[in-house]
Structures are given as structure tokens and as C-alpha cells.
Amino acid sequence: MAVEVGEQAPDFELPDQHGTPVRLSSFRGAKNVVLVFYPLAFSGVCTSELRAFRDEFPEVNWDDVELLTVSVDSTYTHRAWSDAEHFQFELLSDFWPHGEVAKRYGVFDPERGVANRGTFIIDKDGVVRWKVVNPLLQARDLADYSKALAALG
């Protein structure tokens, strides 16, 4: 079942590229969260999208915004990719149980075994305020994220 705008975001805890557990609810009351699901590290579209977050998304440096990216890749894959690309944000591993968090958000593709390109902007109260889900090969537009975050105030 997909998570819809206006609903409480399902809480989760996943390891980042360094193996450190990250819990979504730890940002409540302090930060808006941009939660980005993507299919696979090192793939063409995913690499270009995450490079755009690194290079063209100034909101990632705001004190009240946290960018969390999620794929079914292992922490080891995320670490290698993060080191190669100099990503300074969290790359979370939804490796095991395979795709469990993506399934809870309604963005898991069971035929391919990966997450679709789903993005959820979650406010400081833990409520989903904006979402978009794109097909596997269609990149997302960062300008839309900026507008959604600006609307949160």
C-alpha cells in the first residue's frame, strides 16, 4: 500500500553507508526530510540524480532539512559509491529484509527487486506533505523538491 500525502510517514531504521543506523523519527521536531528511493547505485540515471543532489540542491545544506536516500544495495556498495562520488548525505541500505522499507512506502517493484524512483517530503511532525513516483528510467526534477520544501515554510 502506498503512503499518501497527509499521512504519517512510516518510521524505519536502516544503516547508512558507514553502517550507522539512521531512524526516520529521529528528525521529528527538528528537520524536514527529503526521502528519496532509487533503484541501484552506480547506474546511469541514479548516479546523475544523486550528483544533482550533491551539486544543485542547496537545501541539502539547510539546518532544517535532511536528505535521506534509500536503495536495496548493500552498505558496502553504498560506501564504495559514496566514496567515489563524494556524497555527503546518507545512503541507506534497504537490503534486508529485501526492500522492506520501499514496500512500506509503496515504491518497491517486485518484478525487478528494486525501488522505483519515489520521493517523499516529510515535515517536522512526520507527515508526508509532498510525493512523486517516477518510472525506473525517468529522472526527477529537483526544482519540484525546492518548491515543496519552500511551501513548508
Q: What is the pLDDT of residues 15-63, one digit of tens each?
A: 999 999 999 999 999 999 999 999 999 998 899 999 999 999 988 888 9
Q: Three-state DSSP class for 22? A: strand
Q: What is the pLDDT of residues 142-153, one digit of tens each?
A: 888 888 888 987
The pTM of this model reads 0.95
Catalytic residue among 3, 46, 128, 148: 46
Backbone φ and ψ of 101, nearest 5° = -70, -40
Segments making up each domain of the chain, as ranges = 13-152
d(CA 103, CA 25) in angstroms, rounded, equals 18
Residue 113 annotated as catalytic: no
What is the DSSP-derived secondary structure letter of residue 139?
A: -
Grid cell 544503516 in the structure block, residue = 15
Number of CB atoms found within 10 A of residue 128's CB:
20
Domain 13-152 is found in CATH 3.30.360.10: no
